[in-house]
Chain A
Amino acid sequence: MKMSPGRSNHPRVSVIGMGNVLLGDDGFGPLAVELFRCAYECDSNVEILDVGTPGLDLAPYLYDADVVVIVDAVHAELKPGTLCVYCEADLFSRRAQLRLTAHDPGVQQSLAQLRLAGHAPSELIIVGVVPESCGFGEGISPSVLKISSLAVDRIACILAERAINCRRRSAPAQPNLWWLSGDQPKFVAAS
């Protein structure tokens, strides 16, 4: 990995929320990064992004970053609403049985390509929550919503451990959770 001396003083940091906001708990990533943006104040070297479900198009957002925190729904053999933190090696290990919701091939392939090209992030951490339900237009389920404030503090903790400035706001900003507002559309599930 490239680490130029100048860069380590101003590391390029990305906090990336992944998932489809229209698919219930799959929208946990975008929800958590928006809540994080409102609860904490970071320096300009920290970019907070809702990338949706970019597949292979994730690569540009990881390119040459120093620290990347990916926040996503994960499929693990654990109770819905459980918060889990993984490192990059877990993503490639069979033992961890980690599967980011529908997005993992994109994460793995983007990382592998960037590593070969010499532009992979120096460190990648995944903050995941086990979803309760990812049905169409369902919004966030209670167990996942409940754990989200813990996830937000965990992101702050991960940054602080790496000496990346991140301060709790004295007055939190109002989160823009446009996809949860208004009437939830009625969904007729296929049997």
Chain B
Amino acid sequence: MTRVSIDPVTRIEGHLRIDVEVDGGSVQKAWASCTMWRGIETILRGRDAREGWVFAQRFCGVCTTVHAIASVRAVEDALQLEIPANAQYIRNLILIAHALHDHIVHFYHLSALDWVDITTIPKADAARAASLADGFSTWQGNSHRKLEEVQNKVNGLIGSGQLGIFSHGYWGHPAMRLSPEMNLIFFAHYLEALEFQRKACQVVGILGGKTPHIQNMAVGGVMNAINLNSLATMNMDRLGMLQSLLQELVPFVQQAYFVDACLLAASYPEWFRYGRGVANYFSVPELPVDAKATQFDLPGGVIMDGDLSGARAMYNWRDEKFRSAVNEDVTHAWYRGDGALPPWKGKTEPDYTDFQEDAKYTWVKAPRYNGHPMQVGPLSNVLVGYASGHALTRKWTDASFNTISSVHGSKVTPEDLQSTMGRYLARAIRSSMLSDLALEHWQLLTANILRGDDTTYNPPQFPRHQIEGVGMHEAPRGALSHWVVIEKGAFSNYQAVVPTTWNASPRDEKGVPGPYESSLLANPVADPAKPLEVLRTVHSFDPCMACACHTLDANGREIAQVKVL
């Protein structure tokens, strides 16, 4: 039995510690611990409910817009306030652009190096790589000349003897299996991805006024002025700029990222067998297409025990079953108390004890749905959509299955998606879906404006009595919900149940582990001193600990020790 402690897990947003017990080449037990305090909500109590979103978008430095949108939706839900259709489309375009940015960064910059060994790139035949890439995709970045340029850069980097940020990779690890040519193609897209990240930011900037902290949000809609005859407002020029940016961004997602994710799956098909973990999934409906938010372009729903045929649909955000099902358990988290409370009654009182694997060992609470741990994220999104026969989900999921089969030969099924590789693939499927929808929602916004509708805001009116609301958002890492209690226009309670809280959840009072922890069971580990395979499964969730816990510990110290025991 070997105990391996990875602290912190690198190439994630924020700080996370993973402990595993390895025996006979695979993981027997696992613990996920967030080493920083989570106390975001305390700052919102007593604040004006109209301004909550301004603070909420500082919860996390990465998912800024996500919390801004969930916050205004929570207050609107409490007020039962409808927002204009233009406001829905503008919010939708912002959240699509943010999600595409996020998924691209995750695939290339946060996780590709778990699978791509850049030190083999000097051995690649660039011409062969170009013709190989040509066989799968029409992406313009796959030319012989471009790939040769990238190879020269990598040769220079390796020749200099100073790998810099790439010096900590598990290069030469037996679990790295791509050919030098494939490594070259992936790394070329890794560098190209930077340009498309920027374009996604520009979309958010045009609509949100600023990026990364948008300025246009409001309880009741958005603050974008629409006037086709004014230079200073949303007009045809701005709409045209948005359309061009989206038209440049979409091909990178669908021709480079999506294809790369399929090729990765075809090259490492055994990873469809590992990392299933918690097979309970849920997604909330996203991309409302009407002012009242009764129709959505992305479906929501709940799947228990991996049974797609028994999926329950969640048609809208007012789903009462969801509202009464969520509890947060603090038995194994560093908070006072030992049971579970619904978010509206949630407390955030720190009770730090040090890492005690049989008692309290993390700052992350354990959210439960009718008492069950749940997995959230793009995989839940895709499974819920696939189970309900959602056409766009089926289109891109089936396209990925066909591409993988054509390369690897064996058939891939929706059942295979419930795995480490499935989470990578689902994120690429979702990105391709969002790309199609980006252009559609641009069309919806433009058509509505051209019809003469320039309204973007319905002013809120707050009652004196207490009201409660939930703001839901299917964020890049999964279902996010902000739970608010408002009295006389100010928050009296505020709890954010964030995607990473669901996934990085510790054990609950019954000792049932969360998704990270259970997905690591039976995960192979060839060399406990280089636990690359553990990172593959942890990274498949795209951990972002900043809002699940916090960017710093309570004393403001930075925790940065890497130890492999």
With A60-B197, A190-B350, A190-B554 known to touch, is A185 a contact of B101 (CB < 8 Å)? Answer: no
With A113-B191, A136-B554 known to touch, is A182 a contact of B546 (CB < 8 Å)? Answer: no
Q: Are B62 and A54 in contact (CB under 8 A)?
A: yes
Interface string of A19-49 (1 = CB under 8 A from B): 0111110100000000000000000000001
* Residue of B whose beta carbon sits closest to that of A22: B58
Instruction: Name the contact of B194 in the complex, choosing from A63, A75, A133, A189 (C-beta under 8 A).
Output: A63
List of B residues within 8 angstroms of A57 by Cβ: 61-62, 101, 105, 197, 212
A6-14, A81-89, A101-109, A166-174 - interface stretch: A101-109
Q: In chain B between 529 and 551, which residues have their CB closer than 8 angstroms to a CB of chain A? A: 546, 550-551
Q: Are A23 and B551 in contact (CB under 8 A)?
A: yes
Q: Are B43 and A22 in contact (CB under 8 A)?
A: yes
Instruction: Name the contact of B164 in the complex, choosing from A21, A92, A136 (C-beta under 8 A).
Output: A92
- Indicate whether A51 reaches chain B with its CB closer than 8 angstroms: yes
Q: Are B109 and A56 in contact (CB under 8 A)?
A: yes
- Indicate whether B39 reaches chain A with its CB closer than 8 angstroms: yes
- Indicate whether A121 reaches chain B with its CB closer than 8 angstroms: no
Q: Are A101 and B352 in contact (CB under 8 A)?
A: no
Instruction: Name the contact of B58 in the complex, choosing from A21, A108, A183 (C-beta under 8 A).
Output: A21
Q: In chain B between 150 and 176, which residues have their CB closer than 8 angstroms to a CB of chain A? A: 153-154, 157, 164-166
Q: In chain B between 166 and 198, which residues have their CB closer than 8 angstroms to a CB of chain A? A: 166, 190-192, 194-195, 197-198
List of A residues within 8 angstroms of B13 by Cβ: 55-56
B216 to chain A, nearest CB (A): 15
Q: Are B164 and A135 in contact (CB under 8 A)?
A: no
Task: Give the CA-CA distance A136 to B41 in the complex, in Å.
Answer: 11
List of A residues within 8 angstroms of B62 by Cβ: 53-55, 57
Q: Are A135 and B61 in contact (CB under 8 A)?
A: no
Task: Give the CA-CA distance A76 to B554 in the complex, in Å.
Answer: 20
- Indicate whether B349 reaches chain A with its CB closer than 8 angstroms: yes
With A60-B198, A116-B191 known to touch, is A178 a contact of B43 (CB < 8 Å)? Answer: no
The residue in A50, A105, A117, A186 that gathers the most chain B C-beta atoms within 10 A of its C-beta is A117
Instruction: Name the contact of A136 in the complex, choosing from B37, B101, B349, B558 (C-beta under 8 A).
Output: B37
The residue in A102, A178, A188 that gathers the most chain B C-beta atoms within 10 A of its C-beta is A102
- Indicate whether B437 reaches chain A with its CB closer than 8 angstroms: no
- Indicate whether B552 reaches chain A with its CB closer than 8 angstroms: yes
Instruction: Name the contact of A113 in the complex, choosing from B39, B42, B194 (C-beta under 8 A).
Output: B194
- Indicate whether B79 reaches chain A with its CB closer than 8 angstroms: no
Q: Are B212 and A136 in contact (CB under 8 A)?
A: no
List of B residues within 8 angstroms of A191 by Cβ: 352
Q: Are B43 and A136 in contact (CB under 8 A)?
A: yes
B545 to chain A, nearest CB (A): 11
With A53-B61, A63-B198, A75-B558 known to touch, is A116 a contact of B153 (CB < 8 Å)? Answer: yes
List of B residues within 8 angstroms of A75 by Cβ: 558
Task: Give the CA-CA distance A36 to B10 in the complex, in Å.
Answer: 35
List of A residues within 8 angstroms of B201 by Cβ: 60-61
Instruction: Name the contact of B552 in the complex, choosing from A63, A102, A119 (C-beta under 8 A).
Output: A102
- Indicate whether A156 reaches chain B with its CB closer than 8 angstroms: no
- Indicate whether A124 reaches chain B with its CB closer than 8 angstroms: no
Q: Are A133 and B556 in contact (CB under 8 A)?
A: yes
Instruction: Name the contact of A101 in the complex, choosing from B109, B166, B558 (C-beta under 8 A).
Output: B558
With A117-B194, A185-B45 known to touch, is A52 a contact of B153 (CB < 8 Å)? Answer: no
Instruction: Name the contact of B212 in the complex, choosing from A51, A109, A190 (C-beta under 8 A).
Output: A51
* Residue of A whose beta carbon sits closest to that of B44: A185
* Residue of B whose beta carbon sits closest to that of A50: B213
Q: Are B55 and A22 in contact (CB under 8 A)?
A: yes
List of A residues within 8 angstroms of B551 by Cβ: 20, 23, 26, 53, 102
List of B residues within 8 angstroms of A190 by Cβ: 37, 334, 350-352, 554
Q: In chain A between 123 and 140, which residues have their CB closer than 8 angstroms to a CB of chain B? A: 131, 133-137
A77 to chain B, nearest CB (A): 14
List of A residues within 8 angstroms of B350 by Cβ: 188-190
The residue in B13, B157, B190 that gathers the most chain A C-beta atoms within 10 A of its C-beta is B13
Task: Give the CA-CA distance A135 to B154 in the complex, in Å.
Answer: 42
Residues of B within 8 A of A (CB): 10, 13-14, 37, 39-40, 42-43, 45-47, 51, 54-55, 58, 60-62, 64, 101, 105, 109-110, 153-154, 157, 164-166, 190-192, 194-195, 197-198, 200-201, 210, 212-213, 334, 349-352, 546, 550-552, 554-556, 558
- A57-B61, A57-B62, A118-B153 are known; give 8 further A-B pairs, CB within 8 A: A26-B552, A117-B195, A133-B556, A134-B556, A136-B550, A185-B43, A188-B349, A189-B350
Residues of A within 8 A of B (CB): 20-24, 26, 49-57, 59-61, 63, 75, 92, 99, 101-103, 105, 108-109, 112-114, 116-119, 131, 133-137, 178-179, 182-183, 185-191
A-B contact pairs, 20 of them (CB 8 A): A21-B58, A26-B556, A55-B61, A57-B212, A60-B200, A60-B201, A63-B195, A109-B165, A117-B192, A118-B153, A135-B555, A136-B37, A185-B42, A185-B45, A188-B349, A189-B350, A189-B555, A190-B37, A190-B334, A190-B352
What 10 pairs between A and B have smallest CB-CB spacing?
A53-B61, A134-B556, A190-B350, A60-B198, A117-B191, A190-B554, A190-B352, A60-B201, A112-B165, A52-B61
